[in-house]
Structure 1
Amino acid sequence: MSPIKEFSISYEALNKQDIFTNGDTISGQLTLTLSKETKVKSLVVKITGEGSVRWAHGVGDDRRIYRDHKRYIKVKEYLIKEDSKDNVLPEGVHHLQFNIQIPQEDLPSSFKGNHGKIVYTLQAKLSRKWHMASTVEKELNFAPKSLLQSEEVSGAQAGSVSKDVRVFSKGEVQMSATIDRKACSPGETVSIGARINNSSSKEVKAKFSLEQRTVYHARAIRKVVELSLCKMDGDTIGPNSEGTASCQLMIPEDIVHTLHNCEMISVTYTIKVYVDISFSIDPEVLFPVVVVPSCFLAR
């Protein structure tokens, strides 16, 4: 019977979102309860980060599996070092403190999708001679500092578009649109405004949406997944008239962060402001946005 009655790991969260970034130090504790005196070969705490993609394409003889894998980090700290003699721990409860630092490298964000994932793990491993190693682990949420590069995420955005309407109607539709930011967090509300000059003989309506584009790469092959995460309608603008439309677009709470620095997976977001014109291609203005942890914006 194993003398190990409890083996657990815990750590201190650095923010309400429980998110770590490059250069952060993870401070925590291992709890080891032994029913008798025990010889231990080594006890190590480590952080690992790994990414993988996998998807299938085709059927029958034409079916192909595309996959790739990469290890991003592996950092170790020995609490009990391995040596020529066994270390002996007495019976009872043992609390061992640790501090282990995430490298300063620009690592990709944590991610889980239908065709790939990037996972960071805090793990402890207890080794004994002639026994299977005992392990415990916790998954970490990670986002890199590079998500907040000032030249990409500061300030508001504006854009305009115009289109001739020629099917079952005539005239021109012009729209100028603005959003109040370039970076946002899950659960936040983005303010959007549009001014429409409808010189056509049709009614038109302003619409707003948040679009997600995920691209998986396996060597030279890629798979693209595009989703419209949320949509809202604005006011209707009558023929030969002007009007404004506004929208408070809420970023979903369960949205994944932007993923911009990984060769296997990328996740980007766009807020689309467009004019819905029946029987015509809708004129649109696209605003790229970066989705980051709220604790990043509070810094």
Structure 2
Amino acid sequence: MKIEHFDVLLSKQSEKPYTGGEAVQGHVKISVLEKVKVGRLIVKLVGQAQTGWKNKNSEVLYESNEQVLNEYIDLTRVLTDFCDENFNLEEGLHQICFHIPLPLDVISSIEKENYGWVRYTCSATLDVLDEDAKEIFAEHNFTVFSLLNLDAPYMRQPVTSQEENEVRGCCCNRKVGVESAQLTISDMGLLPGETAKITLVIEDSVKRKRRKSRKGRSDCVLLSLCQQLDFLSQNRYELHLFDRKSLTIAVESMVILFRKEYIYQIFPKTSTIQNNVN
């Protein structure tokens, strides 16, 4: 072959994501052993979203596929700098740089089995106009994060949730007290890498008999930062029918140990736990 090597390389390392509005930069690498007549050179950014599953109740198949990104740049004019007057690509190693901005509203990459995925690829295509005319193709996957804008004032306000549980005796079913918990997060909106201050207030008005076996016992609280994902898919045969599935993921979790006896001594009715979650 006259073209020994053809590849598209991104300036960022593969594990580092791109953000909406950021430019995808890189270069097309072409190693030529012998002069070869070439045509058009194009680099494309393509994003594809797919959802699909079988509904457990109806056994109906749902499947959707949508293109969420299609940006390209024509590098043919730049390619001519490496060609002779007959558009023959010269021998040697050639690197052709490109720069393609991502839209601000691009959606995040995701990969969840039995739910769906959003994938992004950067591809390069070169038309080779030799006797056996053909296209040479190369591509690489890359990851995208949506651009978050939390400028709205309410996004920087604390948010609180409270739950209450009525406790009854095991023998007479008589109410013996109430247990309640109030969770407050310092900011409603969080950006990746930011720290959230979490305050948990536990109130226990239940009257219990103290036992020696309970003395010195430690209790714990599990704090989890969760992400909810909603997937929508279309019926494969009846296009007016749709199905929805939700998935909740614990992004970050931590366990906090505390001694009830110690807390009761300082806060007879209410205990407050504060912690930070990244």
* TM-score bracket for this pair, using the shorter chain length: 0.7 to 0.9
Residue 206 of structure 2 is aligned to residue 200 of structure 1: yes
Structure 1 segments unaligned to the other structure (5+ residues): 251-299
Partner of 1:157: 159
Partner of 2:61: 65
Partner of 2:128: 128
Label 1:109 to 1:245 Cα distance change in 2 as closer, same or farther (>3 A).
Answer: same
Q: What code does the residue aligned with 1:76 have? A: Y
- Residues in 2 aligned to 1:188 and 1:113: alpha-carbon distance in whole angstroms: 25
Q: What code does the residue aligned with 1:91 have? A: E
- Residues in 1 aligned to 2:7 and 2:169: alpha-carbon distance in whole angstroms: 68
Q: Could you tell me how far 1:121 is from its partner in structure 2?
A: 1.4
Given that 1:232 and 1:249 are in contact with CA atoms closer than 8 Å, whether structure 2 keeps it comes out as no
Query: Given the two structures, how large is their TM-score scaled by the length of structure 1?
Result: 0.68
Query: Given the two structures, how large is their TM-score scaled by the length of structure 2?
Result: 0.73
- Residues in 2 aligned to 1:221 and 1:185: alpha-carbon distance in whole angstroms: 30
- Residues in 2 aligned to 1:125 and 1:197: alpha-carbon distance in whole angstroms: 65
Label 1:234 to 1:249 Cα distance change in 2 as closer, same or farther (>3 A).
Answer: farther
Residue 52 of structure 2 is aligned to residue 54 of structure 1: yes
Deviations 1:269-296, CA, capped at 9 Å, x for gaps: xxxxxxxxxxxxxxxxxxxxxxxxxxxx
Label 1:153 to 1:100 Cα distance change in 2 as closer, same or farther (>3 A).
Answer: same
* Counterpart secondary structure, 1:133: strand
For residues 113-124 of structure 1, what are the structure 2 equivalents within 5 Å? 113-114=112-113, 115-124=115-124
Label 1:236 to 1:151 Cα distance change in 2 as closer, same or farther (>3 A).
Answer: same
1:26 to 20, 24, 27: 24
Given that 1:122 and 1:140 are in contact with CA atoms closer than 8 Å, whether structure 2 keeps it comes out as yes
Given that 2:220 and 2:255 are in contact with CA atoms closer than 8 Å, whether structure 1 keeps it comes out as no
- Residues in 2 aligned to 1:53 and 1:122: alpha-carbon distance in whole angstroms: 21
* Counterpart secondary structure, 2:45: strand
> How many residues were matched structurally?
243
Q: Could you tell me how far 1:32 is from its partner in structure 2?
A: 0.5
Q: What code does the residue aligned with 2:74 have? A: Y
Q: Could you tell me how far 1:10 is from its partner in structure 2?
A: 2.2
Q: Could you tell me how far 1:243 is from its partner in structure 2?
A: 1.9
Label 1:138 to 1:150 Cα distance change in 2 as closer, same or farther (>3 A).
Answer: farther
Q: Could you tell me how far 1:28 is from its partner in structure 2?
A: 1.9
Q: Could you tell me how far 1:135 is from its partner in structure 2?
A: 1.5
Given that 2:167 and 2:206 are in contact with CA atoms closer than 8 Å, whether structure 1 keeps it comes out as yes
Residue 225 of structure 2 is aligned to residue 226 of structure 1: no
* Counterpart secondary structure, 1:170: strand
For residues 193-272 of structure 1, what are the structure 2 equivalents within 5 Å? 193-202=199-208, 206-219=221-234, 220-228=242-250, 230=253, 232-235=255-258, 237=260, 241-249=269-277
- Residues in 2 aligned to 1:162 and 1:58: alpha-carbon distance in whole angstroms: 34
- Residues in 2 aligned to 1:68 and 1:194: alpha-carbon distance in whole angstroms: 42
Label 1:6 to 1:167 Cα distance change in 2 as closer, same or farther (>3 A).
Answer: farther
- Residues in 2 aligned to 1:24 and 1:186: alpha-carbon distance in whole angstroms: 16
Partner of 1:75: 71
Label 1:65 to 1:91 Cα distance change in 2 as closer, same or farther (>3 A).
Answer: same
Label 1:68 to 1:227 Cα distance change in 2 as closer, same or farther (>3 A).
Answer: same
Larger Rg: 2
Q: Could you tell me how far 1:146 is from its partner in structure 2?
A: 3.9
Deviations 1:90-128, CA, capped at 9 Å, x for gaps: 111111121222234x12111111121111211111122
- Residues in 2 aligned to 1:243 and 1:58: alpha-carbon distance in whole angstroms: 44
Q: What code does the residue aligned with 1:225 have? A: L
Q: What code does the residue aligned with 1:19 have? A: P
- Residues in 2 aligned to 1:78 and 1:5: alpha-carbon distance in whole angstroms: 22
Q: What code does the residue aligned with 1:56 have? A: K
